[in-house]
Amino acid sequence: MLTLITFAAFVTLFGSIGIFFYNRFRTPPYNNSRDFWSLFTFSLTAVVSIISIVLLILLSGTTQVPANHIAVVENTFTGQYSKIGPGFHAWPFQPILAPFVTKVTQYDLRRQTIEIGSKPDKAKQQSLKDTGVQADSNSPGRPVVYFWARGWAYPNPDRIVELHFRYGPDYLDNWVERVWVSTLKGTQGARPYNFVGNQRAEMENEVEAALQRQLVNEDKEPLVFVLQLAIVDYGFDEIIENMLNEVAQREFEKEQAGVLIQTRSKEQEAEEIRANTGYIVVKRAAEAEKEKRIAEASGEAEAKKMVADADAYQIRAKYLAEAEGIQAVQAALAKSPDAYLEYQKTQRWTGEVPTYVGAGSPIPFFNVPTPGR
């Protein structure tokens, strides 16, 4: 907005001067007694010119500092430096903004991206060797490591005047990133080439701490703060790359062999499990068949035992009945001798009778009792 007003003031001023000279040197020349309009135009252009000059003077001592910014005011006449915060500042309310002799430089207090190296352009067949920062290592032969890194930085508002005096508004490019490169090279130079690959986070922290220690003044007060420095990518020279590729290939083959061995081991375990499972199934089936047969045999034995017990019981009952009958017969025969004799005859008779019987001879065993006997 201030730039637009300044531009309008300049246009108005030069327009007024042009009108003045036009009226002054036109034909017929300006006549104070006969040309009232020319007098009015001359007066108007003079007033507008004066107003434009005053406005330009005021605008040269005016500045607008946005939020999250800080400004350094340099007096080119006295060589003094001052700082002002966010807001609208105008001379004479801000005496340090003397018209035409002050230069205002604004600094953004927000985090600014800093980067060393750059991302390789695959379309141009670039590699990190073409775009990265080169650093020697402490390994034998001092193999080269290439880096592409990125981080954040922002100025210390309490030391902004000193930062401006020493490095100016391009402090990130002219100072911070250059110190970062030298710090990275120094750190890598004291480490083996594979330190960044094995302990990347530790190296990032070490580089950040070393860089922050250098971005200070003589009183060890930081002029710029850095944080979250990250190594985005890194690479090695051709010899190391070939060696690492060979090692990676061997590691891959070793890993593949390990996977194959593990797979075969799992397959063998599965086969053993299947064999054990089959054995257990067959064993359980055999045990079940055995138990079934034992149960069947036990049932058959129990059934036979029950049949035998029933037969024995019948025989015993029969013998007991016969014994009781014999005892009853013996008891009856003991009471009657004749009856006993008849019983003996009956037991010894074979069932045969004489073919011929004489007259008057008795028929054996056929005694027909007579009444009264």
- If you write DSSP's letter for every residue of 58-77 in order, what string do you get? HHHTEEEEPTTEEEEEEETT
**Where does the pLDDT of residue 373 fall: very low under 50, low under 70, confident under 90, or very high at 90 and above?**
very low
Decide if pLDDT at 28 tops 80. no
Architecture of domain 112-236: 2-Layer Sandwich (3.30)
Range with top average pLDDT, 15-19, 67-71, 365-369? 67-71
- Residue 180, phi then psi, degrees to nearest 5: -60, -45
pLDDT at 353: 64
Instruction: Give whole-number Cα distances, 265 to 213, 255, 257, 262, 271, in Å.
Output: 56, 15, 12, 5, 10
Rounded Cα distance, 69 and 177, in Å = 21
Please tell me what DSSP assigns to residue 34: T
Cis before 155 (ω within 30): no
Q: Residue 183 in contact with residue 207, Cβ under 8 Å?
A: yes
- For 80-91, write each residue's pLDDT tens digit: 999 999 999 988
Q: Please give the Cα distance from 199 to 69 (Å, whole number).
A: 38
Three-state SS at 89: strand
Is the model more confident about 134 or about 180?
180
- pTM confidence score: 0.57
Question: In this prediction, what percent of the chain has a pLDDT beyond 90?
Answer: 30
Task: State pLDDT tens for residues 309-318.
Answer: 777 777 777 7
Tokens representing residue 367 in the block? 């005694």
pLDDT by residue (tens digit) across 168-178? 999 999 999 99
Structural domain boundaries in the chain: 2-108, 112-236
The pLDDT > 70 percentage for the chain reads: 72
67-76, 251-260, 328-337: range with lowest mean pLDDT: 328-337
Closest CA to 59 of 97, 13, 11, 16: 97
- Between the alpha carbon of residue 50 and those of residues 14, 46, 56, the distances in Å are 11, 6, 10
